Homo-oligomer: A and B are copies of this chain.
Amino acid sequence: MPAKDRTLAVDLGGVTLPTPAMIAAGCAGGGRELAGLVDLHRVGGLVSRTITVHPRPGASTPRIAESPSGVVWNTGLQNAGIDAFVADELPRLARAGAPTFVSIGGGTLEEYVRLTSALQARPEVAAIEVYLSGRDETMDHEILGAHVERLVEIVGAVARTSLVPVFAKLPGGVADVVTLARSAVRAGATGLTLSGSPPALAVELGTLRPALGDVTGWLSGPALKPLTLRTIFEVSVAMPHVPLIASGGIRTGSDAVECLLAGAWAVQIGTGSLVDPAAPVEVARGIAASLKALGLRAPGDLRGRLRLPAVPDRAAGA
């Protein structure tokens, strides 16, 4: 394989990324902060913080605490609201140099539709990522995206309204992820981000208090890697042609290659970017090295190539 034929670019159902290593939602700042810390032209893409219709002041502090190989966080989705976002942050994000996914979140169908409409006319938006881990205000569900009917309704409406590809970011810590994934794709999602952070709690023993100001939060970081791999594996086996973006516990090139082997098309780096803002570039480099070592041409050649035993459960035959 001559080096010149090798590429890191990936096509996620219509949106092309220069590399498969993106920065996850809520971990990319507002477009200015990363300058000088990473060359955003060498980052596969970035996802905005989750934007809501109205401005949100966000959660009480502390908003982040550590857990074994992880962080528990709750920003309360602080953001300036869609209008301010479109006016100020979006152009800055897009100018930074990487394909821009906009994460949208709400509690009702109407909010999602309004958010999508507001982004319709914006050429800066490479894709929409639908945040689905929030509370369903209409149905009073704890986690909106864990319920098939609501997932279908909301993802469907966003997909119908959007002019760009739509990625449904399924909530973390849910069973039957294949069913949810299938439903989201049937409803019109171009692809899936797997997964959001699962619900978590950290306790500060010294004060007998929750470690976070808003009590509960979500788990991110390396601890999640085996959960992410499992989800990607199951969904990719069920739907090998649907672009899957892995999120949760990815920080190094090896982590990313493991995800690609399990079936991911691209990966997002969240906590890893907070620790090492150049992580997405290093991850891309790691993927390139793997391609070279294995004599492969493109990230897609690694996808789903996990070598399985010929008889998945040999013991069953005993």
Chain A residues with CB under 8 Å of chain B are 57-60, 67-70, 72, 76, 142-143, 146, 171, 173-176, 178, 198-203, 205, 207-210, 213-216, 219, 221-227, 229-230, 233-234, 249, 254, 257-258, 261-262, 305-309, 312-315, 318
Contact = CB atoms under 8 A, between A and B. Distances in A.
Contacts of A72: 226
A227 B216 CA distance: 10
Contacts of A258: 203, 205
Q: Is chain A's interface secondary structure helix, strand, loop, or mixed overall?
A: mixed
A159 to B, nearest CB: 23
Contacts of A67: 223, 225-226
Given A176-B146, A203-B262, A213-B309, A227 B219 contact: yes
A306 B305 CA distance: 47
25 contacts: A59-B315, A60-B314, A68-B222, A68-B225, A69-B69, A69-B223, A70-B223, A143-B175, A173-B227, A174-B174, A198-B227, A199-B227, A199-B234, A200-B226, A200-B227, A202-B226, A202-B229, A203-B229, A205-B257, A207-B307, A208-B261, A208-B307, A209-B306, A209-B307, A215-B309
Contact of A69 (B142, B143, B222, B261): B222
A229 B212 CA distance: 13
B313 A68 contact: no
A129 to B, nearest CB: 20
A69 B213 CA distance: 25
Nearest to A253: B205
B174 A57 contact: no
A230 B216 contact: yes
Contacts of A178: 142
A146 B176 CA distance: 8
B216 A233 contact: yes
A258 B210 CA distance: 9
